[in-house]
Structure 1
Amino acid sequence: MDALLLPLIVFCPLLAAGILFVSAGRMPARASCMIGAGSVGLSALLAGRLAASFLAAPLPAGTLHMALWSWMRVEGFSTRIAFALDPLSLVMMLVVTGVGFLILLYACGYMHDDPDIARFFGCMTLFVAAMLVLVFSSDLLSLYIGWEGVGICSYLLIGFWHTDTANVVAARKAFIVTRIGDAAMLCGLLLLATQASTLDIAALLHIVATGPAQLLPATAAFLLLGGAAAKSAQVPLQTWLPDAMAGPTPVSALIHAATMVTAGVYLIARLHPLFMAVPVAMKAVALVGLITLLLAAGSALVQTDIKRILAYSTMSQIGYMFLALGSGAWQAAIFHLVTHAFFKALLFMAAGAVILRVHHRQDIYQMGGLAPAMPVVFSAFLAGAAALAGLPLLTAGFYSKEMILQGAWHANPLLWAGALLGAFATAIYIFRCVFIVFLGTRHTEPTGRTGATMAIPLACLAILALAGGWMEMPDTIAPVHLLSHLLSPLFGTATAEGPSWLLWAGSLVPLAGVGVAWLLWRPRTQARTAPEDAIARLARTGWGFDTLYDTLLVRPFITLGRLNQSDLCDRLSDATAATTRAGSRMLSRMQSGQVRRYAGWIAAGTVVALCLGIRP
Structure 2
Amino acid sequence: MSEFGVWLIILIPLGAFVVNGLVVRPFFPQYERLAGWLTILSLAISFGLSIMAFTTVNSQHGMVDFGTHEWLDVAGLTLSIGILLDPLTAIMLIVVSGVSLMVQIYSQGYMKGDPSYIRYYAYMSLFTASMLGLVTARNIIQLYVFWELVGTSSYLLIGFWFTKPSAAAAAKKAFLVTRLGDFGFLIAILALFAQGNDFLDIPYMYAHVGMIGTTAVSLIALGFFAGAVGKSAQFPLHTWLPDAMEGPTPVSALIHSATMVTAGVFLVARTFPLYLASDVTMEVVALVGAFTAVFAASMGLVAHDIKRVLAYSTVSQLGYMMLILGLGGWVAAIFHLFTHAFFKALLFLGSGSVNHATGTFDMRYMGGLRKVMPWTFTLMVIGSLSLAGIFPLAGFWSKDEILAHAVEVDSTVGWIALAAGVVAAFMTAFYMFRVIWMTFGGEYRGGAEAEAAAIVAEGGEAPEVHGHPHLGESPWVMIAPMLVLGVLAVGAGFLANPPVDIGISEKHEFGHFVTGNPGVFVEDIHDEHAVEEALEHAGESPEFNWTVAIVSSAAALIGIYLAYLMYSAKKVSPESMADRTRPVYTLMYRKYFMDELYEGWIVKRFFYGVVVTASDWFERSVIDAVNVKLGIWTGRVGKGLGEVQNGQTQMAGLAISVGVVASIAAFLVWGS
TM above 0.5 = yes
Aligned residues: 588
Q: 1:439 aligns with which of 441, 452, 469?
A: 441
Partner of residue 528, structure 2: none
- The aligned residue for residue 593 of structure 1 is none
Contact 1:436 1:523 in 2 (8 A): no
CA distance in 2, matches of 1:189, 1:553: 27
Mapped to 2, the partners of 1:273 and 1:288 lie a distance apart of: 19
Distance 2:612 2:227 in 1: 30
Q: For residue 71 of structure 2, give the secondary structure of its aligned residue in structure 1.
A: strand
* Kept after mapping to 2: 8 A contact 1:218/1:278: yes
Instruction: Report the Cα offset of residue 225 of structure 1.
Output: 0.9
Aligned in 2, Cα 1:298/1:215: closer, same or farther, shift over 3 Å? Answer: closer
Q: Mean Cα displacement is larger for which, 340-349 or 545-554? A: 545-554
Offset of 1:580 from its aligned partner?
11
Structural mapping, 1:245-264, within 5 Å: 245-264=245-264
Residues 76-105 of structure 1 show CA distances to partners (whole Å, capped at 9, x for unaligned) of 542211112100100000000001110111
1:533-572 correspondence runs (5 A): 533-555=582-604, 556-560=606-610, 563=613, 567=617, 569-570=619-620
In 2, are the aligned partners of 1:196 and 1:204 still within 8 Å (CA)?
A: no
Aligned partner of 2:433: which letter?
Answer: F
Whether contact under 8 Å (1:196, 1:215) holds in the other structure is: no
Sort the Cα spacing of 1:331 and 1:580 in 2 relative to 1 into closer, same or farther, 3 A. Answer: closer
Structure 2: state its 5+ residue gaps: 448-469, 522-534, 635-642, 652-672
Amino acid at match of 2:193: A
2:419 aligned with 1:417: yes
Q: Given that residues 213 and 277 in structure 1 are in contact (C-alpha distance below 8 angstroms), is that contact kept between their aligned partners in structure 2? A: no
Shift in CA distance, 570/37, structure 1 to aligned 2, threshold 3 Å: farther
Partner Cα separation in structure 2 for residue 575 and residue 196 of structure 1: 44
> 1:282 maps to what in 2?
282
Within-5 A mapping of 1:126-525: 126-198=126-198, 199-209=200-210, 211=211, 213-214=213-214, 216-359=216-359, 361-393=360-392, 395-411=393-409, 412-444=414-446, 446-447=470-471, 449-470=473-494, 471-475=496-500, 480-489=507-516, 490=518, 491=521, 492=535, 493-497=539-543, 499-524=545-570
Matched AA of 2:148: E
Q: Partner of 2:578 in structure 1? A: 531
Counterpart AA for 1:547: E
**Amino acid in structure 2 at the alignment position of 1:305:** D
Structure 2 counterpart SS, 1:442: coil
Letter in 2 for 1:156: L
Shift in alpha-carbon separation, 1:570–1:44, aligned structure 2, 3 A: same
Q: Is the 8 A contact 1:29 1:112 kept in 2?
A: no
Deviation at 1:503, TM superposition (A): 2.4
2:51 to 48, 63, 75: 48
CA distance in 2, matches of 1:389, 1:238: 21
Residue 86 of structure 2: aligned partner? 86
Task: Specify the SS of the correspondent of 2:81.
Answer: strand
Deviation of residue 329 (structure 1)? 1.1
Q: Report Cα offsets for 1:450-469 as digits up to 9, x if no partner.
A: 11221110100000001111
Q: Deviations over 1:330-356 (max 9, x none)?
A: 111011001100000000000001011
Using the TM superposition, give the Cα deviation of residue 186 of structure 1 relative to its aligned residue in structure 2, in angstroms: 0.7
CA contact (8 A) 1:3 1:65 kept: no
Quote the Cα distance in structure 2 between the aligned partners of 1:232 and 1:21: 29
> In 1, are the aligned partners of 2:214 and 2:278 still within 8 Å (CA)?
no
Partner-residue secondary structure (3-state), 2:347: helix
Q: Distance in 1 between matches of 2:404 and 2:69?
A: 44
Find the aligned partners of 2:571 and 2:270 in 1 and give their Cα distance.
Answer: 53
One-letter amino acid matched to 1:169: A
Identity of aligned residues (%): 37
Instruction: For residue 36 of structure 1, report the CA deviation from its aligned partner.
Output: 1.7
d(CA) in 2 for partners of 1:436, 1:116: 32
Cα deviations by residue, 1:161-192 (Å, 9 ceiling, x for unpaired): 00011111111111011001111011001101
Summarize the Cα distance change of 1:8–1:573 in structure 2 as closer, same or farther, 3 Å threshold: same
Amino acid corresponding to residue 384 of structure 1 in structure 2 = G
Q: Is 2:117 the counterpart of 1:117?
A: yes
- The amino acid of 1:385's aligned partner reads S
Structure 2 counterpart of 1:36, from 27, 35, 39: 39
Match of 2:21 in 1: 21
Give distance in 1, aligned partners of 2:16 and 2:221: 36
Structure 1 counterpart of 2:424, one-letter code: G
Show the counterpart of 2:454.
Answer: none
Shift of 1:528: 6.7
Could you tell which deviates more after superposition, 506-515 or 312-321?
A: 506-515
Mapped partners of 2:501, 2:69: distance in 1: 50
TM-score under structure 1 length normalisation: 0.89
State the Cα deviation string for residues 378-417 of structure 1 (Å, max 9, x = none): 1111111010001112x10000000000011122223212
Q: CA, structure 1 residues 218+573, in 2 after alignment: closer, same or farther (shift >3 Å)? A: closer
TM-aligned CA distance change 1:141 to 1:449, over 3 Å: same
SS for the counterpart of 1:450 is coil
Could you tell me how far 1:497 is from its partner in structure 2? 2.7
Please give the secondary structure, in 1, of the residue aligned with 2:9.
Answer: helix
RMSD: 2.9
Change (3 A) 1:77 1:552: same
Q: After TM superposition, give the deviation of residue 69 of structure 1 in Å.
A: 3.3
- The 1-side partners of 2:221 and 2:212 are apart by 16
The 3 A distance-change label for structure 1 pair 114 and 317 is: same
Q: In 1, Cα distance between the equivalents of 2:134 and 2:267?
A: 9
CA distance in 2, matches of 1:514, 1:473: 26
- CA distance in 2 between partners of 1:192 and 1:520 (Å): 53
What SS does the aligned partner of 2:83 have?
A: strand
Range with bigger deviation, 236-245 or 212-221: 212-221
Against the structure 1 CA distance between its residues 399 and 499, is the aligned structure 2 distance closer, same or farther, given a 3 Å change threshold? closer
- Tell me if the contact between 2:230 and 2:238 (Cα under 8 Å) persists in the aligned partners: yes
- Give the match's secondary structure for 1:78: strand
**Deviations 1:24-53 (Å, cap 9, x if unpaired)?**
253322111111222112111111223234
Letter in 2 for 1:405: L
Query: Contact 2:394–2:491 at 8 Å: present in 1 too?
Result: yes
Deviates more, 1:560-569 or 1:287-296: 560-569
Paired amino acid for 1:389 = A
**Matches of 1:68 and 1:11, distance apart in 2:** 18
TM-score normalized by the length of structure 2:
0.82
What letter matches 1:407 in structure 2?
H
Which residue type is aligned with residue 89 of structure 2? Answer: S
Q: Secondary structure in 2 aligned to 1:531?
A: helix
AA aligned to 1:365 is R
